Structure 1
């Protein structure tokens, strides 16, 4: 029954994806063929407009086919032409839909750091490439131990991405835990947080190193599902009664901008402590948001 209920919005979602991705790729191809950076940059507003239209239609599907209540606290004083670093906890693919519903056309287009394997997702991988989403290797400690050269590859990808992002309004999205939360992962890590995995600081540090002076703020987003973590099928089958979101804006910490996270051990320890403190506050926020009233 749930699949039948979700069938229409899921079909419409697939149709919308094709309708938007095809022109997106055509504009991206034109951008690649144009000479000179200034001509290429003229394609960016069109690419962004297509992506925002795509997200806008997906948001309409949410409103039309579900009764899911979205409760948002703290989404004030946002700038559509700003530069933000967006940090969020990660539990489900629904997180991405929630973030896009909250922020579409309120801040610049969210650009995610993605696992390299996601490039091969049909249509979506090419769409993310066209929108300059960075693809990361995310190598394990064992892989890096066998081949130390791998340690610098994701850093290089981050720096190249940030060089592009300095020239356009952007919201750089980072799921700091690096993977979706599960009870099994939480137990294996021995995480000190009740509802979160341990944060990974390296990606955030490299963004602040490359773009810290040009960022307006950090948007610290906490997403809670009081009725339990849903799947996309749950959402479009209208089995998610409420989603709660808390947004906190933090100034860019001047003492953490421009440091050498990779080679300066003292700076790395300070940065990790700042990240751990941020995550402890997020854990407390999530605990409060999950309480059923």
Structure 2
């Protein structure tokens, strides 16, 4: 049965991807060639409209081919013309589809920070480039130790991306843990949280610094899978009974906007303390969402 479902769904997903990505790339190339900034800016709603249609088709497949129940809790008064920083825990590639299902056409198109290697994913890499998704090197401490110049490259990439987002409605997405949760990673870190890895504050700080007053608030999203941590095959195979999502809208603390996270140690400590407090609350939210019974 699973093989039959996958044999049906994969061609539909591939066809939809081709149908949406080809005009997306044509429009993106046209945008690059246009001589005037206002003409290039006029392409942005068309590009995001194609992306929203693509996501909408995938959401339709979710509804038609699975019985996965999506339970949404918390602050759902959202704005399509808002300017948000979206923070979420990360357990599975399914998280991205959950976020897209929750937020598509309810807030601006989610822009993720992606590993640079993902640019080479057939069709999708070019689509992400066309939609101005930022590509990051994400260098390891060992790589930076060998070549200190690498330390500033991701910061510069963040600033370039955020500069593009200042004048358009945007939702900048950040998986703060930096990697998908696993029990082995949790143990290796010695994480103080029951259900989360330690948060990485630097990326959040750089976005707040680069965007300045261009961001209106934070959407703090907690994703829970009461049936266990799933895979994409579990979703396509209709093996996820329920996904629970809590959204908290948070103001951006004025004292944390515009600080020098990299060079000001006192500011860095304050920022990390704020992030750790947010993560403790998220850990409590996740524990409640994972508890048996109705939420």
Equivalent-residue separation in structure 2 for 1:11 and 1:183 (angstroms): 34
1:44 equivalent in structure 2: 44
1:63 aligns with 2:63: yes
1:153 equivalent in structure 2: 153
C-alpha offsets along residues 99-137 of structure 1, whole Å, 9 cap, x if unaligned? 000000000000000011111111110000000000000
Equivalent-residue separation in structure 1 for 2:187 and 2:123 (angstroms): 35
1:28 equivalent in structure 2: 28
2:278 equivalent in structure 1: 278
2:254 equivalent in structure 1: 254
8 Å contact from structure 1 (residues 10, 236) kept in 2: no
Equivalent-residue separation in structure 1 for 2:184 and 2:119 (angstroms): 27
Any stretches of 5+ residues in structure 1 without a counterpart?
none
Equivalent-residue separation in structure 2 for 1:144 and 1:14 (angstroms): 38
Equivalent-residue separation in structure 2 for 1:71 and 1:6 (angstroms): 25
Equivalent-residue separation in structure 1 for 2:183 and 2:76 (angstroms): 33
Aligned residues: 293
> TM-score with structure 2 length normalisation?
0.98
Flag the 1:50–1:124 CA change in 2: closer, same or farther, 3 A.
same
C-alpha offsets along residues 136-185 of structure 1, whole Å, 9 cap, x if unaligned? 00011111111110000000000011100001100000001111111111
2:86 equivalent in structure 1: 86
Equivalent-residue separation in structure 1 for 2:191 and 2:106 (angstroms): 34
C-alpha offsets along residues 48-74 of structure 1, whole Å, 9 cap, x if unaligned? 000000000000000000000000002
Equivalent-residue separation in structure 1 for 2:256 and 2:196 (angstroms): 23
Secondary structure of the structure 2 residue equivalent to 1:54: helix
Any stretches of 5+ residues in structure 2 without a counterpart?
none
2:97 equivalent in structure 1: 97
Equivalent-residue separation in structure 1 for 2:11 and 2:238 (angstroms): 15
Secondary structure of the structure 2 residue equivalent to 1:42: helix
Secondary structure of the structure 2 residue equivalent to 1:223: strand
> TM-score with structure 1 length normalisation?
0.98
Structure 1 range deviating more: 229-238 or 256-265: 229-238
Equivalent-residue separation in structure 2 for 1:94 and 1:155 (angstroms): 28
1:239 equivalent in structure 2: 239
Equivalent-residue separation in structure 1 for 2:254 and 2:270 (angstroms): 13
CA positional deviation for 1:75: 4.0
8 Å contact from structure 1 (residues 3, 233) kept in 2: no
Secondary structure of the structure 1 residue equivalent to 2:221: strand
Equivalent-residue separation in structure 2 for 1:10 and 1:212 (angstroms): 42
RMSD: 0.8
Secondary structure of the structure 1 residue equivalent to 2:177: coil
8 Å contact from structure 1 (residues 212, 252) kept in 2: no
1:165 equivalent in structure 2: 165
1:73 equivalent in structure 2: 73
CA positional deviation for 1:5: 2.2
Equivalent-residue separation in structure 2 for 1:5 and 1:178 (angstroms): 32
